[in-house]
Amino acid sequence: MAATDPLASMDDGTRAALDVPSDLLAIDPEAMRRLGYSIVDRVVEHMASIGDQRAISEEEPARLRALIGGPAPVTPSPIADDLGLLADVVLRNQQHGDHPRYFARVPGPSSYPAVLGEWLATGMQSVASSWGGGSGPTAVEIIACEWLRDEIGLAPTCEAVLLSGGSMANITGAITARHLRGEGVIYLTDQTHASIKRGLLAMGQPAEAIRSLPPDEHYRLSASTLRAAMAEDRSRGLRPLMVVATAGTTNTGAVDDLPSIADICDEYGAWLHVDGAYGGPAALCKRGRAVMPGLERADSFVVDPHKWLFQPYDIACLFVREPGALERTFAMYPEYLADVTGSEVDLHNRSLELTRRGRGIKLWLTLRAYGLDTIGRAIDRGIGLAEYAQLVIEADPNLEIITPAQLGIITFAARGRTDRDHSLAAARLTADGYAAVTSTVLSGRTVLRLCIINPATTTADLDGTIERLSAYLA
């Protein structure tokens, strides 16, 4: 092909670079297998024995730096040793969201089929950016999200995109609403997840165009308060843009009255965004679905499979009801993407992410591996475990229920004890390692909170946790 030998005119730098062997980063296949198997063994052991370990551990910065820090590594270190350091030091020192007594914040009860799906996707460098460049991972993502959409009971026209978490999924929904409807006022409550307000400010929403409304006595967005706020804004010449309702708040599991809120949104032409990042999966079981009517009226809806759908981090799903709305908001056709855009779905046109790993693969495999009947039962068990915890707390004269069991979350307190007592009790149990528990603040009072969505949790785990907390607060 070449008329002359290209090597003849090569400079020394190029020549030296080409002298680097093409297998420089390759590892002997036998060693690859051995290292890979060792991770499988380690993870299987982790999953089998997690309940016998601490629910959360923390290490001092200086000690961590001594073990894993130091100057930048110039020469190679043995991988097997480093994998040991990662497992024994790095990954030990964190909250174990997959531990059966991890009740803090929101657990992440990951499951093995999901891990397998993510492993395969990672090892084969999955990508779901354009149809032409990733038809397989794109199709899997679309199909898995359609299954979720239909089983959760969202509007059948909803289109979806997977993102890294509820924060990004909620903000992506808000950006879409603003793009389609124009600027306006956004309504939420102090029970709306705090990441949403942060996201709204980051997208340039003026703070004065965010109404943080007082919730009702059940920590829900009050329809009458919302209507009054919208009416007042309109009377001042402002335009209601969007309502952020919640299907399962992080604080109490409360579900907003979506049918009433949807009616108000219709009346005022506002976009209804429903944050089901935490609670959304509950719609996959009968008892959860019963407390969340109106999901089909959401203009946009978020659910995080890495919370209550048994996935490793990260995966969140945004649904938008109006077909093409995401593409109209996010489509981008630069010249170097010219060869990969076409009539099929290009998921990089549905959010701010361009390179997108195939997040849908693990979700698809999980739904297939268990089937939705089993998944619904696993979720219902979480709802039931929180109801059980409520009965245990009610039977303890030292304790009182603050908010009843709702979608796996219960809050309670010890009678006559201070805010600080409650914070300390949560911290003490967490430091002990038996369980991880956080306090929260409701109506100005610091209370204890358990989020119980891991089906591997037993009633004995709850007995032991509540017993210890009650004793600390006796």
Q: What sign for the dihedral angle of Cα 289, 291, 294, 295?
A: negative
- Residue (136 or 259) nearer to a second copy, CB: 136
Task: Sketch the per residue contact string, 386 through 425, with a second copy: x for CB under 8 A, - otherwise.
Answer: -xx--xx-xxxx-------------------------x--
Q: How far is the CB of 13 from a second copy (least distance, A)?
A: 6
Measured CA to CA, the distance from residue 8 to residue 234 in angstroms comes to 76
- Residue (1 or 237) nearer to a second copy, CB: 1
Beta-sheet strands, E only, within 47-206: 159-163, 185-189
- Residue (193 or 321) nearer to a second copy, CB: 193
Q: How far is the CA of 198 from the CAs of 163, 362, 375, in angstroms?
A: 17, 29, 32
Measured CA to CA, the distance from residue 69 to residue 66 in angstroms comes to 6
Alpha carbons within 13 angstroms on the beta-carbon side of residue 127 total: 12
Q: How far is the CB of 260 from a second copy (least distance, A)?
A: 25
The residues with which 446 forms a beta bridge, in sequence order, are 441
Q: How far is the CB of 241 from a second copy (least distance, A)?
A: 13
Helices (H) and strands (E) in the chain, counts: 16, 11
Contact status: 116 vs a second copy (CB under 8 A): yes
Among positions 54, 104, 221, 472, the unique one binding a second copy when judged by CB under 8 A = 104
Question: Interface residues for a second copy in 286-305 (CB under 8 A)?
Answer: 287, 304
Contact status: 378 vs a second copy (CB under 8 A): yes
Q: How far is the CB of 435 from a second copy (least distance, A)?
A: 13
Among positions 234, 289, 296, 313, the unique one binding a second copy when judged by CB under 8 A = 313
Q: Which stretch binds a second copy (CB under 8 A): 62-70, 218-226, 268-276, 317-325?
A: 62-70
- Residue (37 or 228) nearer to a second copy, CB: 37
- Residue (90 or 231) nearer to a second copy, CB: 90
Contact status: 54 vs a second copy (CB under 8 A): no
Task: Sketch the per residue contact string, 76 through 95, with a second copy: x for CB under 8 A, - otherwise.
Answer: xx-x--xx--xx-xxxxxxx
Q: How far is the CB of 158 from a second copy (least distance, A)?
A: 14
SS3 for 335-368, per residue? Answer: HHHHHHCCCCCCHHHCCCCCCCCCCHHHHHHHHH
CB neighbour list of residue 156: distance below 8 Å, 6 or more residues apart: 149, 150
Task: Tell me whether strands 438-442 and 409-414 are parallel, antiparallel or unpaired.
Answer: unpaired
Contact status: 209 vs a second copy (CB under 8 A): no
Contact status: 356 vs a second copy (CB under 8 A): yes
Residue count, binding to a second copy (CB under 8 A): 192
Q: Which stretch binds a second copy (CB under 8 A): 70-78, 221-229, 235-243, 266-274?
A: 70-78
Task: Tell me whether strands 240-246 and 271-275 are parallel, antiparallel or unpaired.
Answer: parallel
User: What is the side-by-side order of every strand in the sheet holding 316-320?
Assistant: 159-163, 316-320, 300-303, 271-275, 240-246, 185-189, 210-213
Residue 407's SS3 state is coil
Among positions 257, 357, 363, 412, the unique one binding a second copy when judged by CB under 8 A = 357
Question: Interface residues for a second copy in 135-174 (CB under 8 A)?
Answer: 135-137, 139-140, 143, 146-147, 150-151, 164-168, 171
Nearest-CA neighbor of 319 among 290, 283, 366, 355?
283
Contact status: 374 vs a second copy (CB under 8 A): yes
- Residue (116 or 231) nearer to a second copy, CB: 116
- Residue (57 or 225) nearer to a second copy, CB: 57
246 contacts 261 by C-beta, under 8 angstroms: no
Nearest-CA neighbor of 245 among 286, 297, 205, 304?
297
Contact status: 334 vs a second copy (CB under 8 A): yes
Among positions 54, 101, 103, 113, the unique one binding a second copy when judged by CB under 8 A = 113
Q: Which amino acid is at 376?
A: G
Question: Interface residues for a second copy in 431-460 (CB under 8 A)?
Answer: 438-441, 446, 449, 455-459
Question: Interface residues for a second copy in 237-276 (CB under 8 A)?
Answer: 250-251
Contact status: 69 vs a second copy (CB under 8 A): yes
Q: How far is the CB of 344 from a second copy (least distance, A)?
A: 6
145 contacts 256 by C-beta, under 8 angstroms: no
**For 240, phi and psi rounded to 5 degrees?**
-65, 125
